Amino acid sequence: MNNTTTLRHPHSPKSTTTATMLDRSVSSRRAAADTEALSALPSDAASDAVDDSKTKRQHISLLASKYLSRIGHVSPSVILSLFVFLFVASLIFHYYRGLVCVSPYDPRSRGGPGLFLPDALESDFGYLGVPWCRSKQGKTVEWTSKDLLKGLEEFVPIYETRPIKNNMYGMGFDHSFGLWFIARQLKPDLMIESGAFKGHSTWVLRQAMPETKIISLSPRHPAKYLQKGPAYVDGNCTYFAGKDFVDFGSVSWGNVMKQHRISNLSRVLIFFDDHQNELKRVKQALKAGFRHLVFEDNYDTGTGDHYSLRQICDQFYIKGGGHSCFRDSDEARIRARRKNFWEKAVDVEELCGPDETWWGVRGEMRDNFNHSNKPISYMEHFQNSRFIESILDVYWELPPVAGPSLTHQTRYDPARASSPIIEDGRFGLFQRLGLGRLENSVFNGYTQMVYLQISEQES
């Protein structure tokens, strides 16, 4: 990693990089749907996907109109009877389709189309959208979807050698890959993790950078878990754990950096998996002079046990941000429907607290594993987002590794996530990369892992 990470504006016409950052899997924002999105099927399919217009069966109403145009000489009573028949048949079809015939992994089924007007599907889900934190100059990461695919091909066999096969309550495959990939891209001189659990994340960092020093902060030492089962303790890691534990915000980082002979803090990567208020952690990292941060659990609005970057940046002025607590709104209707399919989807009743407080979690800024919660006003929430924007150079959410029809995950709502690296329907690629060898359960831990680069502060 150079002294500063090389960046570019995603819309620059002078970019010489051969792989474009306009790839859907690493796009910086999903466009919000407008009113036309409800009257047309999705049109933003990936360039290598099958053209749905050539494979989908035409709607019954369209077929009927074409047929009637050829039999204009038939009496009006016959035509009227035919329309009535088609109307009733369409109602029956959609009713029973919703009850017994539809798989939740079918991307066409998630919205539940109406009679003649298709409802919002995954790629048109503009009622909610995907809010992203806005960087100051619109810069983004250098890596592309091609780099992500190449990384997956390399990481799958590495992941299969993990010492902790059942990492329940810890990172699954998506975030393990994300942490490994980001570390490989940045090539830091020192890696710091806050929250180690059984040591899986330490192991992932070690696979990414075999010779790089690691500092691990965790209330319980990973070695304690060895008494009950698999765990990982790294020989080239300095542990502030167990009786030696020090919280990230209380460490004298200036002294620690001197001990590790680190003079350039832009060559340090910080990984947070400690379920603490992420606004607090950003401010602590900023004060210490660190610039490259990764947050494992970047919870969506209305979910999670701590205040996250995703929540902070969910604002009315952001595409996909801001929410309505009106019980008869389109958003309420679609949220209620999608909750039937996705475990972490929240309906309006769950999203909104007293006096229509939807920000954070029902108007609360959660902290410390949901043990320290503070009600905040929308104005305070708004000011938090403005602060983050004022210091933010890069914000990049890790896309899901693959679409839900491939991984069979049911946890997160794909309409609230970036488009996956491997789109639904690309089963051959999914199998070729070896992902089909993994258990489905390892894909159920995705919570929008995010990489931040914050501005270098003037001394």
Same domain (yes/no): 65, 198: no
Whole domain around residue 114: which residue ranges? 35-43+51-124
- Which amino acid, 361? V
The pair of three-digit structure tokens given for residue 435, joined into one six-digit string = 């992902």
User: Residue 244 falls within a domain, yes or no?
Assistant: yes
User: Residue 27 falls within a domain, yes or no?
Assistant: no
Regarding predicted confidence, which is higher, 29 or 340?
340
Residue 442 reports pLDDT greater than 80: yes
Same domain (yes/no): 111, 221: no
Same domain (yes/no): 275, 215: yes
For position 144, what pLDDT does the model report?
A: 95
29 closest CA partner among 317, 456, 329: 317
Determine how many CB atoms are found less than 10 A away from the CB of residue 45: 16
User: Residue 9 falls within a domain, yes or no?
Assistant: no
Phi (first) and psi of residue 96, to 5 degrees = -75, -25
Regarding predicted confidence, which is higher, 107 or 89?
89
For position 84, what pLDDT does the model report?
A: 67
**C-beta of residue 214 within 8 angstroms of C-beta of residue 205:** yes
Q: Is the pTM of this model over 0.85?
A: no
User: Residue 236 falls within a domain, yes or no?
Assistant: yes
- Which amino acid, 206? R
CA distance 311 to 384: 10
For position 138, what pLDDT does the model report?
A: 85
Same domain (yes/no): 258, 352: yes
The pLDDT of 17-34, averaged and rounded, is 33
131 closest CA partner among 315, 296, 306: 315
**C-beta of residue 442 within 8 angstroms of C-beta of residue 379:** no
pLDDT tens across 224-233, in order?
A: 999 889 999 9
Beta-strand ranges (E) seen in 246-291 are 268-272
Same domain (yes/no): 141, 241: yes
Same domain (yes/no): 364, 391: yes
From 72, 98, 124, give the residue that closes a domain.
124
| pLDDT bucket at 167, cuts 50 / 70 / 90 | confident
User: Residue 57 falls within a domain, yes or no?
Assistant: yes
User: Residue 79 falls within a domain, yes or no?
Assistant: yes
User: Residue 23 falls within a domain, yes or no?
Assistant: no
**C-beta of residue 131 within 8 angstroms of C-beta of residue 315:** yes
pLDDT tens across 98-153, in order?
A: 333 233 333 333 333 232 223 334 333 335 678 889 998 888 999 999 999 999 99
The pLDDT of 10-15, averaged and rounded, is 34
Burial class (CB in 10 A: 0-12, 13-18, 19+), 193: buried
The pair of three-digit structure tokens given for residue 256, joined into one six-digit string = 């620690």
Residue 56 reports pLDDT greater than 80: no
Same domain (yes/no): 67, 208: no
Same domain (yes/no): 220, 163: yes
User: Residue 15 falls within a domain, yes or no?
Assistant: no
Residue 432 reports pLDDT greater than 60: yes
- Which amino acid, 200? H
DSSP assignment of 7-47 equals -B-TT-TT---SS-TT-GGG-S-PPPP-GGGGGS------T
Same domain (yes/no): 109, 70: yes
From 70, 99, 124, give the residue that closes a domain.
124
**C-beta of residue 396 within 8 angstroms of C-beta of residue 298:** no
The pLDDT of 188-194, averaged and rounded, is 98
Residue 279 reports pLDDT greater than 80: yes
The pair of three-digit structure tokens given for residue 189, joined into one six-digit string = 């001189």
pLDDT, the chain, mean? 79
Same domain (yes/no): 335, 317: yes
From 105, 124, 143, give the residue that closes a domain.
124
Domain count, the chain: 2
The pair of three-digit structure tokens given for residue 413, joined into one six-digit string = 């709502």
| Lowest mean per-residue pLDDT among 15-29, 81-95, 319-333 | 15-29
Same domain (yes/no): 81, 194: no
Q: Given the structure tokens 């997956």, which residue do they identify?
A: 152
Same domain (yes/no): 281, 391: yes
